[in-house]
Amino acid sequence: MADIKIQNMVASTVIAKHLDLDKIHEHLDDTKYNPDQFPGLVYHIAVPKIAFLLFKSGRVICTGAKNIEDIQSAVDQLYPRLKKLGFEVIKPEIQVQNIVASVDLHVKLNLLELSLALGLENIEYEPEIFPGMVYRLEDPNVVFLFFGSGKIVCTGAKRERDVERAVDVITEELGKRGFL
């Protein structure tokens, strides 16, 4: 049985038509803003441990969450803080853009044999360049990074159930081919 752990969720939203990043940087603690280096302002909150990237356009990227509830909680904290600073904020519609999960298969994998067994058309495996094997799954549309330790990174999913379904698909394939 594979153990799945969500490591990071990235979500985006639009919270206003315009944000004055200098004003936000001046009035909120835990911000970093250097427009010469990066056009967005980074704002950290402690609970849940989340980082926001805020842009002048009103677009917000949220990263560091382990679940959708953490994203909602963080945005629920950001919304009134920006409103208090005088911004015309709109109720944000949150869209998950990417979920990164780690998976432990509890077995060692021979990546060369695995790459041949899964078919080279969806595989990138160059051990001289990168110690893992990249496998692109079409349904659901995710990318797996396999390591010889039996650990896998799954990225590209937009819903937690897609991560679970992708892991089910790949463990079934590995089982059929005698890797599990």
Do both 78 and 113 map to the same domain? no
Closest CA to 50 of 28, 34, 67: 67
Kindly report, residue by residue over 131-151, the tens digit of the pLDDT.
999 999 999 999 999 999 999
Which tens digits make up the pLDDT trace of 27-43? 999 999 999 999 999 99
Distances (CA, A) of 33 to 43, 49, 55, 117, 156: 9, 19, 10, 48, 28
**Residues 6 or more apart in contact with residue 178 via CB below 8 angstroms:** none
Q: Looking at the structure, tell me whether residues 83 and 65 fall in a common domain.
A: yes
First CA to last CA distance, the chain = 9
Q: Which residues pair with 63 in a beta bridge?
A: 10, 51
- Smallest CA-to-CA distance from 5 within 131, 129, 103 is with 103
Residue 1 has pLDDT above 80, yes or no: no
The domain in which residue 76 lies consists of 10-96
Q: The CATH number of the domain where 130 resides is what?
A: 3.30.310.10
DSSP 90: -
Mean local confidence (pLDDT), 150-166: 96
Per-residue tokens: 167 = 């892991």
Residue 121 included in any domain: yes
pLDDT value, residue 147:
97
- Asked if residue 63 and residue 117 are part of one domain, the reply reads no
Instruction: Identify the domain boundary among 73, 96, 119.
Output: 96
Q: What is the pLDDT of residue 110?
A: 95
DSSP E strand stretches across 21-78: 31-32, 41-45, 50-54, 59-65
Residue 54 included in any domain: yes
For residues 16 and 90, membership in a common domain is answered with yes
CA distance 180 to 176: 8
Residue 53 in any domain: the answer is: yes
Q: Is 2 domain-assigned?
A: no
Total domains in the fold of the chain: 2
- Residue ending a domain, among 65, 96, 127, is 96
Q: Give the pLDDT score at 180.
A: 87
Are residues 85 and 27 part of one domain? Answer: yes
